[in-house]
Amino acid sequence: MTDHLLALSPAMADALRRWLDTEASTRDRSDHTITAYRGDLLAFLMFIGSHWAEAPAPRALGRLTQSDMRAFAASERTRGLGARSLARRQSAVRSFLRWISDREGLDLSPALSSRSPKYARSLPRPLTPEQAQATLDCASLHEVDWIAARDTAVLTLLWGSGLRIGEALALTGRDWPMADALTIRGKGNKERRVPILPVARQAVAEYVRLCPWQVALDLPLFRAVRGGALSHAAMSKVMRDARAALGLPASATPHALRHSFATHLLAEGGDLRTIQELLGHASLSTTQVYTGVDDARLMAVYRAAHPRG
């Protein structure tokens, strides 16, 4: 990324850094989001520099036209960027342009009026309860007892509590022994309380009992073979192995167990708003996508919850 920044004018590189700092500090953007935004803006600014045959300074962005924005979108599509990724990229660009228009006193309404492509939002594909249980059973067959217990414990937290894989792997010795509920820090640094089922606590307890590494307050709860932090890649491999053994589709990833948590709760009569809170979703519509809830069910929830429903 540093090489790309050096290709920008010093003023533009500084503006990009300040905008990213603002997004991180005032809008609680995650590190992952900031990294994605940096890539989005570098792609845009590098394109404009090539399109105009000059590295633009911040005030030069006042020359941007709708035609420039369309050319950028066409270039990204030609490079193979999908509609959903392009929509996110253009959203980041517009956010940056609004920020810089305020700072520099620019009229960027022509560029900001460009529309993002529409895309069909793909629905998650949760596992059935039987498939989820078979996946846990498969993980428990590892030839090393403590690794089998570890993998089973992590997957149980995903399916039984709806944790994101990153949230489960971020648990430390401070989270042990586990109470009936955990405070989880999720996307955007937002906290939520998540109930931990007895079966999940028992699974983690069995892992702690067998693990050759002592639980330490400031170290990861779930450890890799050499004692370091267990990685996302390692758990993805556990799911790949389970898919191969059980004949599950490629969509059976660690995240699919989180989808399954929400879908299975709803199928058993769980309240959609409660599920929204458990998942840490900012909007009910996101939970609707997770669980495949139709609009009629969603409106019923709104009517029941709204004071004028």
**pLDDT of the residue at 201:** 93
Identical fold, 2-112 and 129-305: no
pLDDT value of position 304: 54
Q: Where are the domains of the chain?
A: 2-112, 129-305
Report CA 80 to chain centroid distance, whole Å. Answer: 22
Task: Report the C-alpha gap between 20 and 18 in whole angstroms.
Answer: 5
Per-residue pLDDT of the chain (309 residues; tens, 9 = 90+): 444 444 688 899 999 999 999 888 877 677 888 899 999 999 999 999 999 988 889 999 999 999 999 999 999 988 888 877 888 899 899 999 999 999 989 899 888 887 765 555 555 578 888 999 999 999 999 999 999 999 999 999 998 888 889 999 999 999 999 988 888 887 767 788 888 888 999 999 999 999 999 999 999 999 999 999 999 999 999 999 999 999 998 888 898 888 777 775 666 665 556 555 656 545 545 545 555 544 444 445 445 544 444
pLDDT at position 309 is: 43
- Catalytic, 4? Answer no
Q: Catalytic residue among 29, 89, 243, 258, which? A: 258
pLDDT of residue 5: 46
Beta strands in the chain (DSSP E): 181-185, 191-195
pLDDT of residue 306: 42
- Please indicate whether residue 164 is annotated as part of the active site: yes
pLDDT on residue 308: 47
pLDDT of residue 290: 52
255 is catalytic: yes
Topology of domain 129-305 in CATH is hpI Integrase; Chain A (1.10.443)
The DSSP result for 87-125, as a single string, is: HHHHHHHHHHHHHHHHHHT---HHHHTPPPPP-PPPPP-
C-alpha 261/C-alpha 275 separation (Å) is 9
State the pLDDT at residue 298.
43
Tell me, which fold does domain 2-112 have in CATH?
DNA polymerase; domain 1 (1.10.150)
DSSP letter, residue 225:
T
Residue 94 gets the label, from left (phi > 0), alpha (psi -120 to 50) or beta, of alpha
> 304 is written with which tokens?
């029941």
pLDDT for residue 269? 62
| 309, burial (CB in 10 Å: exposed 0-12, middle 13-18, buried 19+) | exposed
pLDDT tens figures, 256-287: 888 777 775 666 665 556 555 656 545 545 54
CA 188 to chain centre: 10
Summarised one tens digit per residue, pLDDT across range 135-159 is: 999 999 999 999 999 999 999 999 8
**Considering 4, 84, 187, 273, which one is annotated as catalytic?**
187
Confirm whether 281 is a catalytic residue: yes
Rounded to a whole number of angstroms, the CA Rg of the chain reads 23
In the set 4, 192, 240, 255, the catalytic residue is 255
Residue 191, strand partner residues: 185
Distance CA 155, CA 232 (A): 12
Q: What is the pLDDT of residue 235?
A: 94
- State the amino acid at position 144 in one-letter form: V
